[in-house]
Amino acid sequence: MIIRLDMQSDVPIYTQLMNQIIEGIASKQLAPGEYLPSVRSLASDIGVNLHTVNKAYTLLKQEGFIQIHRQKGVVVNPDGMPGITPDYQHKQEAQLRPVIAEAICRGMDKTELLRIVESFYDEITQEPKENA
């Protein structure tokens, strides 16, 4: 999978990494059971420190997206993804409300907003386009 980082972004690198891996799983470019690069090789590939990658992996593990095996490496959780927990629902609400509120302020129609969300949903689930 191709990782794109924006070093100018105010979004932390480890967060960008987490987001891209999660989107990779959502788009089935990464399948459960599939191995991810080691912290050291990924770090050197994308030109960041080992600890930055390790932080992303550790957080993804805590949330249940991946498993980390001591001397075998990092693997997309073969037991499936975490479900819709109450904690997750709260996090999702905290993320969605401000976005929706701003859309309303700017005069975005409800159907228009839903259309946008739907199109992103489709865009993500339709990829595995791996080859660009």
Q: Which residues form the interface with a second copy (CB under 8 A)? A: 11, 19, 22-23, 25-27, 65, 81-84, 88, 92-108, 110, 113-114, 116-118, 120-122, 124-125
Residue 3 contact partner, candidates a second copy, DNA, none, CB within 5 to 8 A by sort of partner: none
Smaller CB separation from a second copy, 15 or 41 = 15
**Residue 90 lies near DNA (rule: CB under 7 A):** no
Q: Which of 3, 45, 51, 114 binds DNA (CB under 7 A)?
A: 51
Token couple for 120:
């992103």
Burial of 89 (0-12, 13-18, 19+ CB in 10 A): exposed
Q: CA 69 from chain center: how many Å? A: 21
**36 beta partners:** 74
